Structure 1
């Protein structure tokens, strides 16, 4: 039998330390049966259940401390959890002005993870469906009092639990996956004109992250954000993926050079697909060399 391995992880930041018993009662009230298991040796107790339809096993663990700024080797907080992820989630949260304040008040974490058999093949579409089911589990727990917010460490997203519900409902109506729950969009200024607009978290879904480099005065930034989601969605089908070294057409029929890279410009370090706009404005000094392109 192959060994079960932890895959994607979601979390709820809480204002007190919850018990597994109260979480079990909450989930079973929502018709999601689960059992409490005692680990061998010094391992922590966990709550174990199975996602419907049929889905993989989910495991819930209580972390009796705040989310760490630095993740040490051996800390099992999900395979896509990086150091300072919560700080970045708050910094790049454009819709929740109190995100950092609320995050600073949490005392513990409810960690909700999926497990698969190590040799089990799974497509990006299947992972996305299971992540959505895992978000539903998190939403059920999130209705308990003293939950500070929903946190996706791999996507560096921290939002109120009610926003989690709103995004899931809107996704169902629109028929479009709730990528906003799993992968953040981050806008940073490289100088007074050039920006980098990027995704963080697509790797959880088996998709590449993207970096868009463009002159902000030549493009609508809202349209670029929409295209970042479109390009991500496009990569769910391998035959529609962007080709390294090609030219992609973006919003307003703008042209972008496509470059695959393993050195994301901003933390965390990860593989990315770079989309560099064919803009007339000179790029910031040193940036073409950093991106290994021949551009004035």
Structure 2
């Protein structure tokens, strides 16, 4: 789902449900506006509404649920309520079916991330919205006929920082297991998130690895696909790299993709077909613009491949999702977690 009614979303997975009083206590440093009630969702009957950029009608919505995270995002026939909620972005505007499963399979930054999150029984959703959460008095004062989904001075990094601050507070709940970012497919326990944020602060960097993930898929005996997921939160394309595993180390490719993402965050320039960058192996890597990624979730990407005379499999060079079969093995390659540390 694209950004619209909601512009960002994060989640905290829980061992057991939490009450509204507990939530308000942990979020006492935030400016609470009120509580919204829902007659449609018995598992999430109430939502805390917190102030975020009130000058443009922004709100942070914090919704506890007594149910597990709905990783398949419902079905129009068998679970239409969940499906409609997903289609409206209520699980995060960039959440895509299977995001928690993929995050667990590719949890290189948290050793226990593959198993521990599966113990959750309930969760808390955090969303940013500029059109939802306003109280009746705010709505009556608004004389405009046009609904502005995203303000002109929209700042996704400010949103992510604000959400991360709220998540950090909620991880202090005794019921909290971990932080989960559906759009970036990232899992971290409280200690891991704190360390990641401190590292970024010390080096004056955005905590990109706390918001986005890097994943690795084995394509065949010789070729691999590595990609980032979650740059859409920043309104930027994700990166993909296809390479011969006998020639390049995963840690070097991961560093290359992270640096390419950080470059986009620091400039107004964009990568285009034919662009070249210095990459792993002290070689030039070529970029192509792709309408659809090689792996879920579907999204536009910049795909990189080394200018080393190698011939990537044809399936790895496709730019659209027209092919019937995925070109990679669904199971991620088994790698040392340290290969993916920044």
TM score, norm. by length of structure 1: 0.88
- Unpaired runs of 5+ residues, structure 1, are none
User: Which of 224, 236, 247 matches 1:195?
Assistant: 224
Count of equivalent residues: 284
User: Which of 91, 102, 121 matches 2:105?
Assistant: 91
Matches within 5 A, 1:45-84: 45-51=46-52, 56-72=58-74, 73-75=83-85, 76-84=90-98
What is the Cα deviation at residue 137 of structure 1?
0.7
CA distance in 2 between counterparts of 1:238 and 1:263 reads 24
CA distance in 1 between counterparts of 2:104 and 2:150 reads 36
User: Which of 31, 37, 40 matches 1:39?
Assistant: 37
Matched residue SS, 2:84: coil
CA distance in 2 between counterparts of 1:181 and 1:53 reads 26
Q: Report the RMSD for the aligned CA atoms in angstroms.
A: 2.3
Matches within 5 A, 1:1-296: 5-28=5-28, 31-39=29-37, 41-42=39-40, 44-51=45-52, 56-72=58-74, 73-75=83-85, 76-116=90-130, 117-122=148-153, 126-237=155-266, 239-284=268-313, 286-287=314-315, 290=318
What is the Cα deviation at residue 41 of structure 1?
4.8
- Inter-CA distance 239–232: structure 2 relative to 1 (3 Å threshold): same
Judge which range, 190-199 or 37-46, deviates more.
Answer: 37-46
Higher strand residue share: 1
- Inter-CA distance 119–130: structure 2 relative to 1 (3 Å threshold): closer
- Inter-CA distance 272–32: structure 2 relative to 1 (3 Å threshold): same
CA distance in 2 between counterparts of 1:273 and 1:170 reads 27
CA distance in 2 between counterparts of 1:134 and 1:112 reads 7
Judge which range, 161-170 or 49-58, deviates more.
Answer: 49-58
Q: Contact conserved, 1:218 with 1:279, CA < 8 A, in 2?
A: no
CA distance in 2 between counterparts of 1:133 and 1:14 reads 21
Q: Contact conserved, 2:277 with 2:285, CA < 8 A, in 1?
A: yes
CA distance in 2 between counterparts of 1:100 and 1:195 reads 21
- Inter-CA distance 199–26: structure 2 relative to 1 (3 Å threshold): same
CA distance in 1 between counterparts of 2:266 and 2:196 reads 23
1:147-193 residue CA offsets vs partner (Å, 9 max, x unmatched): 11100000111111211111111111110100111110001121222
- What does residue 332 of structure 2 align with? none
